[in-house]
Chains A and B, each alone.
Chain A
Amino acid sequence: MSADKLEILKKMVRVRMVELYVAKRYPEQKMRCPTHLCLGQEAVPAVCGYFADRDDIFVGTCRSHGHYLAKGGNLTALFAELLGSGKGCSKGLGGSMHLIDLAVNFWGTSAIVGGGIPIAAGAAFRLRYENAPQIVVAFLGDAAVEEGVVYETVNFALLHKLPLVFVCENNTLAITTPIELRQCSTTLHDRFQTMGMNSFYVAENDISQLMAAIRVSYDHARTGLGPAFIEYRVSRWCAHVGPAFEGPVDLWWQPPAVSSGGYGCPICVMRDELIAEGAISLECIRSLRQQVQEEIEQAYREAERTAGPIGQDPAAFVYASGLACELPSRVRPIRDIEFHHAETSKIVNAF
C-alpha cells in the first residue's frame, strides 16, 4: 500500500511541478495557446495513471496536462506542443487543448466539453468488438455532466457493457460559474446509479478512497462487468485558463509544522500519510523535488531548442487518404444477397 502511495505521490509531484513551471514561463509569451492548468487537481491523474496498464486507453479534456503526464506522455513533446513547435506531441497543430501520445495510449483530448466522452466509449466499443483485455478511462468535469451526450453515452456504455471508466473531477466550476447555478443537484454520481451504473463518490483529498474506487472500477471494467462512474470532489486552484493561481502549491516540500492544518493540498495529504507510515522522509521529498525540477528544466530547454513551427505544409494533415481508395484483397468470392424486400406501393416508397 505504501509503495502504491509513494508512486502516486511522485506522479502528483511531477504534475504539480510541470504546471507550476508552465505558469512561471507562460508570461514570456512563447507558449501562445489557451492553457488550462490542473493545479490542485493532481490526484485523479496520478491515481488513474498509476493503476492503468500501458495498453489501457485514456481520453482527456481541455485540462489534461496531468492526465497526459500521468499516463506516461512525453514531457518534452508537451512543452514543445505548448510552444507551437513542429516537435510537439501534436506537431504544434493542437496546442495545450489537444494532446496525444499514442506510444502510451493517451488517445487525445477534446476542447469541447463532453466531446471526448463518446469517443472514449467508441474506443471501448472496439475493445469489446475484438474481446481485447484493455479498458478505457474517460475524464470529464462537472460541467460535462450538463451535456446531453454524456447521458447518451452512459446509456450506450451500460447497454453494451463497455470496458469504460468515467472519472469525473467535480471542481464545482464551469469557467467561474458555480455548480449551484448550473445543476439541480450538486452531486453527480448518484444520477447515474439510477441508470444501473456502478457509481462512486470520493470526498476531496480522500486519496486512499480514490485509489480504492479506481481499482474496483478498473477491475470491474476489465472483467467484463461494464462501465463505472467515479465522482471526485476537488478544488481548482488556478484560473479557468492561463497562468494565474491561488493555492498552497509549495507547502508539500516544506516541514509539516509549517504546512500543517489541512491546507487542502493532495500532495501534502499523501506526504503526511507516507511520513506517518515511515515510508518517506522530508529529505526524500526534497530530493524528489530537485530531481523533478532538473527533469523539467532539461525538457523545456530541449523543447525550446527545437521550437519553430512544423516545416511541412499542415494542409497535408487535412485528409488521411486520397480520392481513390483500394479494396482489400479477398480470400473467397462473395455470394450475392438474396433480396426479398420490395417496395410495393407508391405510398411506402415515399416514407
Chain B
Amino acid sequence: MSHSRTYAQAIAEASYQAMEMDESVFVVGQGTRDRGHIFGSVEGLLARFGPERVIEMPISENAVAGICVGAALSGLRPILVLQRADFSFLALDQIINHASKFHYMFGGQTSVPLVVRLIVGKGWGQGPQHSQSLHSMFAHFPGLRVVAPANPYTAKGLLLNAVFANDPVVILEGRSLYGTTEVIPAEPYTVPFGQARVIREGTDITIVAVSFMVPEAISAADELNLAGLAAEVIDLVSVNPLDVDTIVTSVQKTSRLLVVDTSWSYCGISAEISAVVHERLFGRLQSPVRRMTIPFTPTPTAFELEDRYYPTHVQIAQCAQEMICGAELCPTGPTS
C-alpha cells in the first residue's frame, strides 16, 4: 500500500506510527494544540494519543530538552520539536553537553534515545533568527546523528529510524519543503542514517545538495541536460555520519564536485565534503571543488535581498557549466 503524502504529513505519519508501535514514544513541542498542528507535522497525534503523550511545552527550550534527556535515559523515546531551528541554541547545553555525551562518559551504561526535530525557516522574511540551517554545527559533535531529509519518503523513514535509534538524533527539516508531495509507502519503514541518495545519474559533474537545495540542484541538472551535460545529483541526507563512499564513488566517475548547501560555507559541511574528496581523490579532479552556499551574512529580511540570498537552480547550473567547460570561476557564493 502506498499513498500520496506531503513532507509534513509524512512526518506526522511517522510520529503516529511510532506512537502506535511503542507506548514509550511521546511528542513534546510548542503549538501541539494549535489548529496549524506545527505546520501539519503533528496532525492527528493529539486526537489519537491525548495530552499524556502529546505534550505542550513551556517556552523553556533548555529545560524541556533536558527533561527529554532524562525521560530518554529512563527508556522513553521523546520526539522534541522546535518550530525554528534557531531556538535550539537555547537548548544546546542539554543536547550537546548532556545528550551527546551520556553514553560515552558513563562508559556505555546509559543511552539517550532522543529525537530533536528542528524546522528551518525560509522565505517570507524569516530573517536572521528564524532561518538558520544548523546541521553543520550539530554535525561537529560526536554522539549525535544529524540528518536533513529533502523529500517525504526520506522524512518519514528517517524519523522512524531516529525514534527507534538509541542515540540522540537531530533532524533538520526544511519548512519550505513541507508542501512537497510524493507517493510513499503507507506502512512504517526506516531509512538508515549515513546514506546519501543519488537522485540523478550523470558523468560530467557531481552536485551534492543539502535539504531545500536538493530541488534546486535537480532543476539545475535538468537545465544542464538541455545543454547536453549530465550532472549526477546527490541528496546528502545524512550530515553525520557522512556517506563518504557514495560521494567519492560519484566524484571518481565525474571528476568534478559542486557542493550546494543551505548554510554558510565557512567551517560548514561543504568544507568537510570538499576536504574529504580532496583527501581521497587528490590529483584526480579536473577542476577544484566548488561550493555554492548562502553569503556569509545573517539572513536579510527584505524580500528582494532574501530572494538573492539563496543559491538558485540557474546559478547552480551556470556554476556547473563553468566548471565543466572551464569558463570563468563560479560567480556566486562568499568565497568568490
Binding site for B on A (CB under 8 A): 59, 88, 90-94, 98, 100, 102, 107-108, 110, 112, 115, 117-127, 129, 148-149, 152-153, 155-156, 159, 310, 314, 316-321, 323-328, 330, 334, 336-343, 347, 349-351
Query: What's the dominant secondary structure at chain B's contact region?
Result: loop
With A129-B76, A153-B66, A321-B165 already in contact, the answer to whether A93 and B104 are too (CB < 8 A) is: yes
Q: A88 to chain B: closest CB distance in Å?
A: 8
B9 within 8 A of A: yes
Q: How far is the CA of A340 from the CA of B188 in the complex (A)?
A: 21
What are 13 residue pairs bridging A and B, where the CB atoms are less than 8 Å apart in the complex? Answer: A90-B105, A90-B107, A91-B106, A94-B106, A98-B106, A118-B69, A118-B70, A123-B71, A126-B76, A159-B58, A323-B192, A327-B190, A337-B13
Cross-chain contact B12 with A337 (CB below 8 angstroms): yes
B214 within 8 A of A: no
Q: What is the interface residue range for chain B against chain A?
A: 35 or more
Partner of A129, one of B71, B97, B160: B71
User: Which residues of B lie under 8 Å from residue A330 when comparing CB positions?
Assistant: 20-21, 188
Cross-chain contact B20 with A155 (CB below 8 angstroms): no
Cross-chain contact B66 with A118 (CB below 8 angstroms): yes
Cross-chain contact A350 with B164 (CB below 8 angstroms): no
A interface footprint on B164-178 (CB within 8 Å = 1, 0 otherwise): 111100000000101
Cross-chain contact A92 with B58 (CB below 8 angstroms): no
Binding site for A on B (CB under 8 A): 3, 9, 12-13, 16-17, 20-22, 26, 35-37, 39-40, 43-44, 48, 52, 58, 60, 62-76, 93-94, 97-98, 102-113, 123-124, 126, 142-143, 145, 160-162, 164-167, 176, 178-179, 186, 188-190, 192-195, 241
Given contacts A121-B63, A156-B60, A325-B161, 18 further A-B contacts (CB under 8 A): A91-B107, A102-B109, A107-B110, A112-B97, A117-B63, A118-B63, A118-B94, A119-B66, A125-B70, A129-B52, A155-B60, A156-B63, A320-B166, A323-B195, A330-B20, A337-B48, A339-B40, A341-B40
Cross-chain contact A328 with B22 (CB below 8 angstroms): yes
With A129-B26, A129-B52, A328-B164 already in contact, the answer to whether A317 and B70 are too (CB < 8 A) is: no
User: Which residues of A lie under 8 Å from residue B111 when comparing CB positions?
Assistant: 320-321
Partner of A310, one of B107, B167, B193: B107
Cross-chain contact A122 with B98 (CB below 8 angstroms): no
Cross-chain contact A118 with B167 (CB below 8 angstroms): no
User: Which residues of B lie under 8 Å from residue A328 when comparing CB positions?
Assistant: 21-22, 164
With A126-B75, A337-B13 already in contact, the answer to whether A318 and B26 are too (CB < 8 A) is: no
Cross-chain contact B93 with A108 (CB below 8 angstroms): no
Partner of B167, one of A59, A152, A321: A321
Cross-chain contact B67 with A118 (CB below 8 angstroms): yes
User: Which residues of B lie under 8 Å from residue A149 when comparing CB positions?
Assistant: 60, 62-63, 66, 93-94
Cross-chain contact A119 with B70 (CB below 8 angstroms): yes
Cross-chain contact B73 with A339 (CB below 8 angstroms): no
Cross-chain contact B69 with A100 (CB below 8 angstroms): no
Q: How far is the CA of A320 from the CA of B75 in the complex (A)?
A: 13
Q: How far is the CA of A98 from the CA of B103 in the complex (A)?
A: 11
Q: B139 to chain A: closest CB distance in Å?
A: 14
Q: How far is the CA of A337 from the CA of B104 in the complex (A)?
A: 38
User: Which residues of A lie under 8 Å from residue B93 when comparing CB positions?
Assistant: 112, 115, 149
Q: A151 to chain B: closest CB distance in Å?
A: 8
Cross-chain contact A347 with B70 (CB below 8 angstroms): no
Partner of B67, one of A98, A153, A314, A350: A153
Q: A111 to chain B: closest CB distance in Å?
A: 8
User: Which residues of B lie under 8 Å from residue A337 when comparing CB positions?
Assistant: 9, 12-13, 16, 43-44, 48
User: Which residues of B lie under 8 Å from residue A323 when comparing CB positions?
Assistant: 192-195, 241
Cross-chain contact B190 with A351 (CB below 8 angstroms): no
Q: A230 to chain B: closest CB distance in Å?
A: 20
Q: How far is the CA of A331 from the CA of B70 in the complex (A)?
A: 28
Q: How far is the CA of A122 from the CA of B17 in the complex (A)?
A: 24
Q: B193 to chain A: closest CB distance in Å?
A: 4
Q: How far is the CA of A249 from the CA of B39 in the complex (A)?
A: 61
User: Which residues of B lie under 8 Å from residue A124 when comparing CB positions?
Assistant: 70
Q: How far is the CA of A92 from the CA of B166 in the complex (A)?
A: 22
User: Which residues of A lie under 8 Å from residue B161 when comparing CB positions?
Assistant: 324-325
Most buried by A among B3, B40, B66, B192: B66
Cross-chain contact A317 with B60 (CB below 8 angstroms): no
Q: How far is the CA of A350 from the CA of B186 in the complex (A)?
A: 27
Q: How far is the CA of A312 from the CA of B109 in the complex (A)?
A: 15
Q: B119 to chain A: closest CB distance in Å?
A: 10
Most buried by B among A91, A156, A325: A325
User: Which residues of A lie under 8 Å from residue B193 when comparing CB positions?
Assistant: 323-324
Which 10 residue pairs of A and B lie closest in terms of their CB atoms, listed nearest first?
A122-B70, A118-B66, A91-B107, A350-B124, A152-B63, A152-B60, A126-B74, A337-B44, A320-B111, A324-B192
User: Which residues of A lie under 8 Å from residue B160 when comparing CB positions?
Assistant: 327
Cross-chain contact A336 with B165 (CB below 8 angstroms): no
Q: How far is the CA of A152 from the CA of B58 in the complex (A)?
A: 8
Q: B245 to chain A: closest CB distance in Å?
A: 13
User: Which residues of B lie under 8 Å from residue A342 when comparing CB positions?
Assistant: 40
